[in-house]
């Protein structure tokens, strides 16, 4: 009996152990059964590289990391850096931020907007950069605006366009004057009638069309009306282009940006400026031998409690809320300018650099990761991610797009005007030729001689009148 009870207890115990083992196997993460290496990845929260969405992380770096893991067949565990720093040498000689976590073996790699610098390269290894950037100046528009120039209304068109417009206006008015004199429908009797389309009246007629106002005299001949209609259409399209471009220039506010370079930033006294504390940008100015850069570093060092910021989000918010200019990565500033329509980046960019993936020195992952980044770049995947996460949600048009219109942009408009003027002149000659044929048949003269006399009479009225008076005098004698 004791043996039977002992056997039963053993069987029940074995069954329970097998059931627990089976349940544990079912609850085990199936990815861990693959035997893939698992890397600890440190990163930093910065839009759009790494952002928190619910209980997950997403962004440019997260998609880049997923693509690298798929190419190199590894698993990863992502952790946000504890001190919120990128990596700099502290007063005690130790490294902070993501660089410090790699050196302390708390992370295997750092996938973040981490700038490749010589100081960091001495303690860790970097892969091929996955993004290229530089150092720029982020400003708020209304803090950089100044009084517009007295002739700011000329900005929508370039000097060449204004010159072409003036030439088109004078040519059109001259054609109006010429056609109105040639056309018998507009001026039937040159010896007895007064032509209302004098050159001054033609200039006034063309100016009235530019102002969208009706002006006298009103054309009656078909040839003159052809030129008038073409000029009206030309001015309508021209005014539409002018108003649209002028409105865009006024809204962009970038036409009169006084801070174009870092030298301009140093010379002004209205804005405070600074950068991220402990960032590579700060040490770039510290180590630079350029006098302008040294002045920027001395300014930030003396006022570091007031001008240095802790995070990128704090920097952008401070630019938006106060008279502050942020010096930092140009690629991040481009994103801020795309997200906030009242921000703009100054044109000058210095210190070309790149963002790379940091690994421990002599890490076996450095070269494979570099090759994988190059493959992603060659396949266009990095460009796709760049366009995806830097997509602008701002309706503001940049100055490059809304700059002064050049003549080629209005080439079709000027061509249409030229064709219209040619048609008007041909129509006037046809009208005069038809009238000359009828007069030649009535007077029994050559059509060419009558046509020539008509042209001379219409273009040289005084000479024709004097000649007619001389002829009549001889006849009386």
The answer to whether the annotation marks 181 as part of a ligand binding site is no
Strands 350-355 and 131-140: antiparallel
The answer to whether the annotation marks 113 as part of a ligand binding site is yes
Token pair 């004057």: residue: 177
**What is the sign, positive or negative, of the torsion defined by CA atoms of 472, 473, 476, 477?**
negative
Q: Computed over its alpha carbons, how large is the radius of gyration of the chain?
A: 40
Long-range contacts, 370-378 (Cβ 8 Å, 24+): 370/127, 370/128, 372/67, 372/68, 372/71, 372/72, 373/68, 373/127, 373/128, 373/129, 373/130, 374/128, 375/71, 376/64, 376/67, 376/68, 376/71, 376/130, 377/130
Residues 128, 370 contacting (CB under 8 angstroms)? yes
- What is the C-alpha to C-alpha distance for residues 227 and 173, in angstroms, rounded to an integer? 9
The single-letter DSSP state of residue 188 is S
Decide: residue 205, CB within 10 A, 0-12 exposed, 13-18 middle, 19+ buried: buried
- What is the C-alpha to C-alpha distance for residues 276 and 315, in angstroms, rounded to an integer? 8
Residues 283, 119 contacting (CB under 8 angstroms)? yes
**Other C-beta atoms lying within 10 Å of the C-beta of residue 273:** 23
Rounded (to 5) percent helix, strand, coil in the chain: 55, 15, 30
Token pair 């649209």: residue: 244
- What is the C-alpha to C-alpha distance for residues 266 and 296, in angstroms, rounded to an integer? 7
Question: Up-side HSE of residue 88: CA atoms within 13 Å toward CB?
Answer: 15
In angstroms, the Cα distances linking 380 to 69, 99, 112, 237 are: 18, 29, 20, 41
- What is the C-alpha to C-alpha distance for residues 360 and 127, in angstroms, rounded to an integer? 11
- What is the C-alpha to C-alpha distance for residues 413 and 233, in angstroms, rounded to an integer? 9
The answer to whether the annotation marks 329 as part of a ligand binding site is yes
- What is the C-alpha to C-alpha distance for residues 146 and 197, in angstroms, rounded to an integer? 47
Residue 180: which residues within 8 A CB-CB, separation 6 or more?
186, 187, 195, 196, 197, 202, 219, 221, 224
Residues 343, 337 contacting (CB under 8 angstroms)? yes
The answer to whether the annotation marks 281 as part of a ligand binding site is yes
The answer to whether the annotation marks 40 as part of a ligand binding site is no
The answer to whether the annotation marks 143 as part of a ligand binding site is no
Annotated binding-site members: 113, 115, 120, 280-281, 329
Annotated binding-site members for L-glutamate: 113, 115, 120, 280-281, 329
């Amino acid at each position: 009996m004791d043996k039977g009870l002992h056997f039963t207890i053993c069987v029940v115990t074995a069954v329970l152990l097998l059931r627990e083992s089976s349940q544990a196997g079912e609850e085990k993460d199936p990815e861990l059964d693959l035997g893939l290496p698992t890397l600890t990845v440190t990163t930093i929260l910065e839009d759009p590289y790494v952002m928190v969405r619910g209980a997950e992380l997403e962004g440019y770096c997260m998609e880049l990391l997923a693509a690298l893991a798929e190419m190199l067949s590894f698993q990863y565990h992502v952790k946000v850096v504890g001190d919120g720093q990128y990596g700099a040498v502290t007063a005690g000689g130790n490294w902070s931020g993501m660089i410090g976590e790699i050196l302390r073996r708390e992370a295997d790699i750092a996938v973040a907007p981490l700038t490749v610098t010589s100081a960091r390269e001495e303690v860790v290894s970097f892969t091929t950069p996955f993004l290229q950037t530089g150092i720029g100046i982020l400003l708020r528009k209304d803090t950089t605006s100044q009084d517009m120039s007295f002739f700011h209304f000329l900005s929508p068109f370039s000097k060449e366009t204004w010159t072409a417009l003036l030439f088109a206006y004078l040519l059109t008015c001259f054609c109006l004057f010429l056609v109105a004199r040639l056309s018998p429908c507009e001026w039937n009797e040159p010896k007895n009638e007064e032509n209302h389309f004098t050159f001054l009246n033609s200039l006034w007629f063309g100016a009235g069309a530019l102002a969208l106002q009706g002006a006298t005299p009103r054309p009656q001949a078909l040839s003159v009306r052809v030129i008038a209609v073409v000029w009206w259409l030309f001015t309508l399209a021209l005014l539409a282009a002018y108003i649209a471009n002028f409105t865009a220039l006024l809204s962009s506010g970038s036409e009169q940006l006084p801070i174009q370079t870092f030298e301009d930033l140093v010379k002004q006294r209205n804005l405070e400026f600074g950068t991220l504390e402990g960032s590579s940008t700060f040490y770039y100015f510290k180590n630079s031998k350029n006098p302008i850069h040294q002045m920027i570093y001395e300014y930030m060092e003396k006022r570091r409690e007031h001008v240095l910021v802790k995070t990128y989000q704090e920097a952008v918010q401070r630019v938006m809320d106060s008279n502050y200019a942020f010096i930092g990565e140009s690629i991040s500033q481009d994103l801020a300018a795309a997200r906030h329509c009242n921000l703009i980046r100054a044109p000058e960019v210095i210190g070309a650099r790149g963002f790379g993936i940091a690994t421990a020195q002599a890490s076996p992952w450095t070269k494979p990761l570099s090759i994988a980044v190059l493959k992603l770049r060659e396949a266009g995947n990095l460009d796709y991610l760049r366009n995806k996460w830097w997509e602008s949600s701002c309706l503001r048009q940049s100055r490059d797009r809304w700059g002064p219109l050049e003549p080629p942009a209005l080439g079709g408009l000027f061509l249409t005007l030229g064709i219209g003027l040619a048609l008007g002149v041909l129509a006037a000659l046809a009208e005069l030729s038809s009238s000359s044929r009828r007069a030649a048949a009535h007077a029994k003269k050559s059509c060419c001689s009558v046509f020539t006399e008509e042209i001379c009479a219409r273009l040289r009225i005084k000479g024709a009148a004097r000649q007619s008076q001389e002829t009549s005098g001889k006849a009386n004698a």
